[in-house]
Structure 1
Amino acid sequence: MAQLTVSGRDTAYVWVGRDTGGQPDPAAVLLRRAGALLLGRTETAVVLTHDREGRPVVRVDEVTGSVEVAVSVSRTAGLVAVAARRAGAVGVDVERIRPLPALALAHRWFPPAELAWLRDRPEAGQTVDFLRLWTAKEAVGKALGRGLRDGGLRRLMPTPGLPLRPVPGDELLRVGHPRLDGGLVLAVAVQASAQVDVEVVQRPGHEVTAERSASVERTSLPVVVRGN
């Protein structure tokens, strides 16, 4: 994992690596390294646990008390992404770009305003635009600690891009899409009242490759069943 210089600004850091499955879990390895870097401790001192809302955190226990860093994990075919932030909740989601019935999925799962926006986008980029909205919803749900429950798919997202943008109807939620090469779409969400920086510390191709693993096929996208 790349070395990290932690600035005084509120920043969400993201690491991306290969997910080969098996033990040790690549996500747990990245989480421990992220916690150690942000807290300035050794990896062996870092504990993986959850906060009161059920969101994952990495913690270091000391005589004077414990210190925590909010973290989030996403997996897609052959890859794992980990986000960490010291100042508050964070959510991350990553998807590979691949052929999808973007408009059919949006018609079933997204609010009318997002479906209309997607229809107006250039046809050649509709799949990527759909994935940007989808990953934004996933990342926001993780930052809230409830995933896509309670109407998460119907939650309206801001226009995809950077910097992180406020989620309509909730001034304390922000989400955006840091650039990630290699045929990937990445979304990061935070709970914050002011702008938060995003730094992708490690991209596919650095230290661990982003090669597709035939043994690992995970995706958060639902399947549209013909006739439903």
Structure 2
Amino acid sequence: MPDRDTVHVWVGRGAGGRPGRAGRLLRRAGATLLGRAEAEIVVGRAPDGRPLVSAGGPGGRTVALPVSVSRADGVVLVAARRAGPVGIDVERRRELPALALARRWYAPGELAWLAARPAPERAVDFLRLWTAKEAVGKALGVGLRGGGLRRPVPVPDGDDLLRPLPGRADLRVGHPAVDRDLVVAVAVAGPSGAGRDVEVLVVDADVGLVQRTGHGVAAERSASGERTSLPVVVRGS
């Protein structure tokens, strides 16, 4: 639907987080969402270090595309969204002292929620909260500065949906399923993200997997033997 608020996420693997791969994905994002050839897409950096993607528009004016980049060992993710600011963050699943770290960084309510979770799941749940806070900070353009780790986010609820932050209908965050070894959070900011269906479209050029979940849609997966870009679609209210 033309008025649907869609976040596109590109996943690049085997790059060790090298900037060159991120640049290629950023150009692909610009070409896809700005309707230009990749050669016409300009990739740069803002004074604060955030990536910039733009292309020439009607009348010689520059058209910019909101984007966000995150890296973990061996993988880089690029998120782009026409409708407004977007943030993305990724972490590898790993063992860590979840409760000790939460006592230092998280609000009491989040610590209590994490302590009540089954012990084997606490490390991943800690990372879900962490990536959500990071993604929201990127969508706001401030990262984790100014007490960002204390910024409340909705606790994960076992699905991929983008949910509003407590007391902030203009901010939504969720965890699309990208890979079982990755914890990924996507956040959107601005009035266009409030009160509308938000779709996350994940394109993984290496895996060739389609997963579709959302309101009223049973989980659907299909594998492809071809190494082509295929979408993973999740929706959030």
Aligned to 2:218: none
The amino acid of 2:38's aligned partner reads: E
2:34 pairs, out of 17, 22, 39, with 39
**In structure 1, distance between residues paired with 2:188 and 2:19:** 28
- How many pairs are equivalent? 203
Aligned to 2:195: 194
**In structure 1, distance between residues paired with 2:104 and 2:115:** 14
Matched, 1:62 2:57: yes
Aligned to 1:217: none
How far is 1:44 from its partner? 1.1
User: TM-score of the superposition, structure 2-length normalised?
Assistant: 0.78
Written as runs of structure 1 = structure 2, the 5 A alignment for 1:66-215 is 66-160=62-156, 161-191=159-189, 192-195=193-196, 196-202=198-204, 205-206=207-208, 207=227
SS of match in other structure, 2:7: strand
How far is 1:91 from its partner? 0.2
User: TM-score of the superposition, structure 1-length normalised?
Assistant: 0.81
CA-based RMSD? 2.3
The amino acid of 2:172's aligned partner reads: R
Say if 1:68 and 1:86, in contact at 8 Å, map to a contact too. no
CA deviation vs aligned residue, 1:86-123 (integer Å, no higher than 9, x gap): 01000000111011111111111111100000000111
The amino acid of 1:174's aligned partner reads: R
Aligned to 2:23: 28
How far is 1:163 from its partner? 1.6
Say if 1:143 and 1:189, in contact at 8 Å, map to a contact too. yes
Structure having the higher strand fraction is 2
**In structure 1, distance between residues paired with 2:84 and 2:155:** 23
Query: Which has the larger displacement, 165-174 or 15-24?
Result: 15-24
**In structure 1, distance between residues paired with 2:98 and 2:17:** 33
**CA shift in 2, pair 1:19/1:90, >3 Å:** farther
In structure 1, the gaps of 5 or more residues are: 1-5, 209-228
**In structure 2, distance between residues paired with 1:104 and 1:175:** 24
How far is 1:66 from its partner? 2.1
In structure 2, the gaps of 5 or more residues are: 209-226, 229-237
**In structure 1, distance between residues paired with 2:123 and 2:62:** 44
**CA shift in 2, pair 1:152/1:203, >3 Å:** farther
How far is 1:15 from its partner? 1.0
The structure showing larger relative contact order (alpha-carbon pairs under 8 Å, at least 6 residues apart) is 1
Say if 2:107 and 2:152, in contact at 8 Å, map to a contact too. yes
**In structure 2, distance between residues paired with 1:154 and 1:24:** 30
Say if 2:134 and 2:144, in contact at 8 Å, map to a contact too. yes
CA deviation vs aligned residue, 1:192-226 (integer Å, no higher than 9, x gap): 22332111122652459xxxxxxxxxxxxxxxxxx
**CA shift in 2, pair 1:169/1:23, >3 Å:** closer
**CA shift in 2, pair 1:172/1:123, >3 Å:** same
The amino acid of 2:55's aligned partner reads: V
**In structure 1, distance between residues paired with 2:139 and 2:11:** 18
